[in-house]
């Protein structure tokens, strides 16, 4: 894999998809449909998916591609592939809360090693560079020129005063009960894959997810967090979260900065 080319292609496609999403977001109204799993989908999801898929297939025709909107096209188990959630946080998008992201990741042998997470409404762009270092880019987000980059590094957590981030739309009692095992200084909520990025930047130490997610929901954020020195593990046995599972379903998981004293379920 040419990781420099991969970085450039994923970054550009995420920005282009973000533009398309924001066109829909700015409209006075847009259609919202319901998928078979009862989750919402909009024309922004579909347009971003088409744009990203076409770009990735043109650039990397020999790589398997899995996307949320075309998940049924890959029933076979894969271990090295591109995986896309063109609009993570559709509920946030529909409610115009801004916490939605474009997510593109490259998984190699079950590990997400490169990814981009773009939050167009918040003007935040995170990705892993070709060398594996996670960065946040600032500036104008020009398609043909990379702006200033800040290398990301997870926090050095204080287990007597942890910063915790949890889901904005999927918070439940089980999550609160688990968080209660920790000494928490403060909590914040965020939508979509931004939660991984908050751990990657050191804005949070711990993100537990006790709810259903799919691999396309997590792969890009997982890659960014790994590139900042963080970890994502299964909730039940604290082994690393792996990708390319049949059906692409995730178990419950914990994303965290090393040094957090993980509590048992």
Question: What CATH number is attached to the domain comprising 68?
Answer: 3.30.540.10
Q: Which domain holds residue 180?
A: 162-256
pTM exceeds 0.75, yes or no: yes
C-alpha angle with apex 247: 241 to 252, nearest 5 degrees? 35
Residue pLDDT tens, the chain, 265 long = 999 999 999 999 999 999 999 998 888 777 666 655 556 667 888 899 999 999 999 999 999 999 987 765 555 678 999 999 999 987 788 888 888 999 999 999 999 999 999 999 999 999 999 999 999 999 999 999 999 999 999 999 999 999 999 876 667 888 999 999 999 999 988 888 999 999 999 999 999 999 999 999 999 999 999 999 999 999 999 999 999 998 899 999 999 999 999 998 7
187 CB-near residues (< 8 Å, 6+ apart): 163, 164, 165, 166, 179
Domain count, the chain: 2
Flag whether 264 is in a domain: no
- If asked whether residues 249 and 122 sit together in one domain, one would say no
- If asked whether residues 229 and 143 sit together in one domain, one would say no
- If asked whether residues 29 and 144 sit together in one domain, one would say yes
Flag whether 101 is in a domain: yes
Flag whether 237 is in a domain: yes
- Rounded CA gap, 175 and 128, in Å? 29
What pLDDT is stored for residue 90 in this prediction? Answer: 78
Cβ-based burial of 10 (10 A; exposed 0-12, middle 13-18, buried ≥19): buried
- If asked whether residues 18 and 111 sit together in one domain, one would say yes
Q: How many residues does the chain have?
A: 265
- Domain end marker among 151, 184, 207: 151
- If asked whether residues 79 and 109 sit together in one domain, one would say yes
210 CB-near residues (< 8 Å, 6+ apart): 172, 174, 175, 178, 235, 252
- If asked whether residues 229 and 135 sit together in one domain, one would say no
């Amino acid at each position: 894999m040419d990781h420099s080319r991969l970085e450039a292609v994923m970054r550009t496609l995420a920005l282009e998809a973000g533009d398309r999403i924001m066109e829909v977001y700015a409209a006075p109204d847009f259609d919202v449909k319901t998928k078979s799993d009862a989750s919402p989908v909009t024309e922004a999801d579909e347009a971003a998916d088409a744009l990203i898929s076409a770009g990735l297939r043109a650039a990397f025709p020999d790589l398997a591609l899995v996307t949320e909107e075309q998940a049924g096209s890959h029933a076979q188990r894969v271990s090295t592939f591109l995986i896309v959630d063109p609009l993570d946080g559709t509920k946030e998008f529909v409610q115009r809360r801004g916490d939605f992201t474009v997510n593109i990741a490259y998984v190699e042998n079950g590990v997400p090693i490169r990814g981009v997470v773009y939050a167009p409404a918040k003007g935040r762009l995170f990705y892993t560079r070709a060398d594996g270092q996670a960065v946040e880019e600032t500036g104008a987000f020009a398609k043909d020129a990379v702006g200033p980059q800040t290398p990301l590094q997870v926090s050095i957590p204080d287990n007597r005063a942890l910063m915790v981030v949890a889901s904005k739309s999927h918070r439940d009692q089980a999550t609160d009960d688990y968080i209660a095992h920790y000494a928490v200084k403060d909590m914040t909520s965020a939508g979509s894959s931004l939660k991984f990025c908050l751990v990657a930047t050191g804005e949070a130490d711990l993100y537990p997810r006790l709810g259903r997610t799919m691999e396309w929901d997590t792969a890009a954020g997982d890659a960014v967090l790994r590139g900042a020195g963080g970890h994502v593990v299964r909730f039940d046995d604290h082994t690393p979260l792996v990708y390319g599972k049949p059906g692409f379903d995730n178990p419950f998981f914990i994303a965290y900065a090393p040094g957090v004293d993980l509590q048992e379920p």
